[in-house]
Structure 1
Amino acid sequence: MKKTSIAVIGSGVSGLAAAWLLARAGVEVTLIEAADQAGGHANTVFPTIGEAVVPVDAGFIVYNEATYPNLTALFNHLDVPTTPTNMSFAVSSASGLEYAGHGLNGLLAQRSNIFRPSFWSMVKDIRDFYEKAPGLEISLETTLFELLENYSDSFAKNHLLPMAAAIWSTDINEVGHMQARSFIDFFMNHGLLQLRDRPPWYTVDGGSISYVRKILTTPGITINLNARITGVERDPNQVRIHWNGIIDKFDHIVLATHADQALGLLDTPSANEQKILGNFKYSPSKAYLHTDERLMPGKRRAWA
């Protein structure tokens, strides 16, 4: 009996998980990836620091078991080793203010902050916001900028906006346009509104590439990199993928890409697909991996 054939487009964590589960169920899986390596956001790089080559995750970095139970279960099943890590936050602003969130010594990394009223206004608002945010009744239209009108400028500019910009890899002048409700929900789900008893965070030993490699060794998965897909056609009996100058036929397809990419691949998207997939907005960002201590806060106590 011929095996069911399924193409999975995109090899980020969604595509990898789908391919792994399907292959374990006896499906013939073709994993198709546009980049020259699998993993998507799981991007481990290997810089040389001194005489050692060190694996550094430049995309997916940390997880906690409470927020990511399925990822935790996947790691346990694959026997992926993980290590507890430090999930901390620090700010070095253009105004010269520096502090870190790990204890009183980090908060007062600059001893002169003791004498700044604006600094203590920020500290007061941190406590007030983190305690009250879960119960705030705000509309879906309320932006983060609008929510922050109820708090001090120091809290907005030196704490919440820098933190949001760091988490979403977005310009600090743009991140305030995001939906305040989504921001609060994200913080609640990740335990970030808890000033005490926050969930422990973990990182993958050897980098996230470790779990990517383990999934790709699963029997039944064929990986294709540097794939250029020009179209996906569907009819009741099969799916045809136009890629790298050829046409391949599959019984089913899993689109494990960003929503806008998925919409662009479909030759004849339905009205509902256009409405749903076309409603997601993306913006490019650039991140730098460096070892230049001159770019770190001047006070080492203020390092995250």
Structure 2
Amino acid sequence: MSKLELSLIDYADYTNVNDISNALLRNIRKQSLNNQVPIPVPIHDIAMSLDIASIDPIPPEVKSFEGILYKEGWQGFIFYNDNSPEPRQRFTIGHELGHWMIPSHLTGNKRSCTKQQTSSFTATGKNIPKEVRIEVEANYFSAQILMPSFEFKKDINRVEPDLRHLFRISQKYNVSMAACCVRFKELSDFSCVIIHHHNFVIKRVLKTKGFPSLDRNFKKGAFISPKSISAKATTDTSLEPVDWKVWLQNPNNYKTELYEQVFQQNDGYRITLIYLDDSKELDEDDLELERLSEWNPKFKK
């Protein structure tokens, strides 16, 4: 695409992260072929069109940070950790650009962000510290720019959920699988949950709207179900039927099928997808088998 013509002044009246990212994407689409954001998103070009003077690796003496934004006059300077994989670098650049564009973020002339700060998408509690909220907002900005909703939603919803398909999408958008899963959770039309775990210990649970409650035992820091496909599989799997009682809190009142899939990563990390296929109701024979499996008679001694 030709050089982008963007101006910070066009976004001066916006203060909300969603309003800023949506306005920016609208302007990019107007200048793009077929009115669509180029994929992978040219995050360097976008930043340089918005008064970012340079984007460079972090100096060796401050490698403990994942990203740094420095302001001098009307210009910004972004630094990223070049020891990180390219998708991580791109997300960090988007994160620092978020700090640059959201008015309340850069009150001084410098922000330094750790890897943890550039990875968090949630902030819980009644009194969330301002610094935590700012970092979460910058992560959402980066995700919304790198995985624009119009283009990304078409890609994830054109086939039934599949972690191998999601991995290919992450490569197409040049983002990490972790960031891709978070965006999938926000934009998917399907009823499912994605669980990230390491050595069978749950690290993150991403549940789409409408998915029923997981068993209360399955939360961050707990072990995945020993009866699950994920606990037994030694390789990647396709979506396979799984008993509701393995994962879910309530009986199968929905009369629908539950599926599970596992996706292997490095160093003991895995991703589990649990998919509720509400397009296919169980027939009466299946329901009878399920009722019998739940029947647990107790006899007096």
Q: Name the TM tier (shorter chain).
A: under 0.3
Q: Compute the TM-score of the two structures, normalised by the length of structure 1.
A: 0.22
Q: Compute the TM-score of the two structures, normalised by the length of structure 2.
A: 0.22
